[in-house]
A and B are shown apart, each in its own frame.
Chain A
Amino acid sequence: MSLGTTMKSSIGAKALMAITGIILVLFVIGHMVGNLQVFLGPDALNQYAHTLQSLGPILWIIRLVLLTTLVAHIWSAAVVVRMSVAARPVDYQKRKDLTTGFAARTMLVSGIVVALFIVYHVLHFTTGTIDMAESYGQMLPDGGGHDVYKMVIEGFQHPLTTIVYCLATVVLCLHLSHGISSLMQTLGFRNDSNAARIDKVGPVLAIIILIGNLSMPIAALTGLIK
């Protein structure tokens, strides 16, 4: 069986979604931990940003891998959604859910919102195309790269921007709370002895990521970090 045929099968598409999901979750965690250095002050964050910038071609390889992963994640979602929509041409007049939750039922919507937010986030902080403060691209006087710290603080001074970030973070939390637990079942790790733990790990990790990611825009907007 070729890899292409496998990936288009119901289980193969889900496996691709799960594996790309793991990579994306690891990125989300790494991205958050890196950014939390904003609480350590300007030097720590600027140093971290400078290290990333000086990776040169390696940075572009990482970006390319992440973009490919994201495209594969979305493609597999499209395969799965198309199969599922086609599987029930006539819907029930009445159908009651017994076990599934809000997060699981809204994976498609939360996924689309997160995808749109990624576009906005890149245009905002990476390219500085929209809503950017004047300090975007400003260099540090000592030649240590961009003044990322100042850019972040100023970027979150607009309440509307901060609200968009907070809402997107909540939606990401919803997406991950089902996604993380779900991918472990899809990849065949869930069994009788670990089922309860696996069902908890998604929501718990998602809430940790929610708190970490919410703390930065809120701290900047409220002046907790300046």
Chain B
Amino acid sequence: MRITLHVWRQKNSTDTGGMKEYTVDGVSEDMSFLEMLDLVNENLINEGKEPIAFDHDCREGICGTCSLMINGIAHGPDAAITTCQLHMRSFKDGDAIHIEPWRSLAFPVVRDLVVDRSSFDRIVQAGGYVSINAGAAQDANCLPIPKPDSDTSMDAAACIGCGACVASCPNGSAMLFVSAKIGHLAHLPQGQPERYKRARDMVAQMDAEGFGACSNHYECEAVCPKEIPVKFIAKMNRDFFKATMCSES
């Protein structure tokens, strides 16, 4: 396949950057999207040019490191996958593909397609943990948790923190991420003692990082590689209301 790429190039965080066009031949439909970019970079290096910087790590869809806006959709056109799990068979010979970094005040561009997502780490540091000593793994059924609760908790815990929710949101809101991090603990007994303080502190940190406000477009749910539903945002809002209206701490 022959593919034309329009890629965002930016030297560093202070550079203004711009779109650059590249043509790549010999793309196999079995290549992953990142392998296609590897091919482009190999050609660029052979030509003595600077390769395109992009984030990637596990390349098996579980780490949340890859992060590309492909033709205007976070992680590309296929549902419920990360960029590394997108394959070139989803495109046709002669296609033009636009690649941009996540766009958010809280995700500054480091270089080309690489953004700094440490704002997510700071939100988790604000309360996305339990301070009690949970000890070693316990015997099965030692701590009874109803199946619907553990299932819901696991649905939220599937979040890999890739930031596609922020990238796709028309408002640049991080509420799906924050609600998943609040939600997985809110459904487990270990998460109860700090439940409301957690909701309040993590939301405060989310706002401080400069993320936008949710206006229920549900674009985040549509692009989430782990299909985390927006019901967690409703749950987070409920916890936040209780935290601000009822909590004493």
Question: B240 contacts which chain A residues (CB < 8 A)?
Answer: 9, 11-12
Query: When each residue 141-169 of chain A gets 1 if its CB lies under 8 Å from chain B and 0 otherwise, what string results?
Result: 00000000000000000000000000000
CB of B129 within 8 Å of the partner chain: no
- Bound-state Cα–Cα, A13 to B237, Å: 11
In contact, B210 and A86 (Cβ under 8 angstroms):
yes
CB of A51 within 8 Å of the partner chain: no
In contact, A94 and B103 (Cβ under 8 angstroms):
no
| Nearest residue, chain A, Cβ from B172 | A87
Main secondary structure of the interface of B (DSSP, over half): mixed
Q: How many residues in A have their beta carbons less than 8 Å from beta carbons of B? A: 44
Query: When each residue 192-208 of chain A gets 1 if its CB lies under 8 Å from chain B and 0 otherwise, what string results?
Result: 10010000000000000
In contact, A96 and B72 (Cβ under 8 angstroms):
yes
Q: Closest CB of chain A to B195's CB: distance in Å? A: 14
What is the number of contacts between chain A and chain B, taking CB atoms within 8 Å? 145
Contact A104/B173 with A10-B203, A92-B69 known, Cβ cut-off 8 Å = no
Of B43-51, B58-66, B214-222, the stretch lying at the interface with chain A is B214-222
Of B22-30, B84-92, B136-144, B227-235, the stretch lying at the interface with chain A is B227-235
| Nearest residue, chain B, Cβ from A6 | B244
Question: A14 contacts which chain B residues (CB < 8 A)?
Answer: 213-215, 237
Enumerate the 7 nearest inter-chain pairs by beta-carbon distance, A residue then B residue, closest first: A87-B172, A87-B212, A84-B171, A96-B72, A100-B217, A84-B212, A188-B238
B: which residues have CB within 8 A of A?
6, 8, 19, 69, 71-73, 98, 100, 103-106, 109, 168, 170-173, 175, 200, 203-204, 206-207, 210-219, 221-223, 229-231, 233-238, 240-241, 243-245, 247
A: which residues have CB within 8 A of B?
1, 6, 9-15, 79-80, 83-100, 104-105, 107, 178, 181-182, 185-192, 195
User: Can you show 11 pairs from A to B with CB atoms below 8 A apart?
Assistant: A11-B241, A85-B212, A87-B212, A88-B105, A99-B218, A100-B217, A100-B218, A105-B170, A178-B216, A187-B237, A192-B231
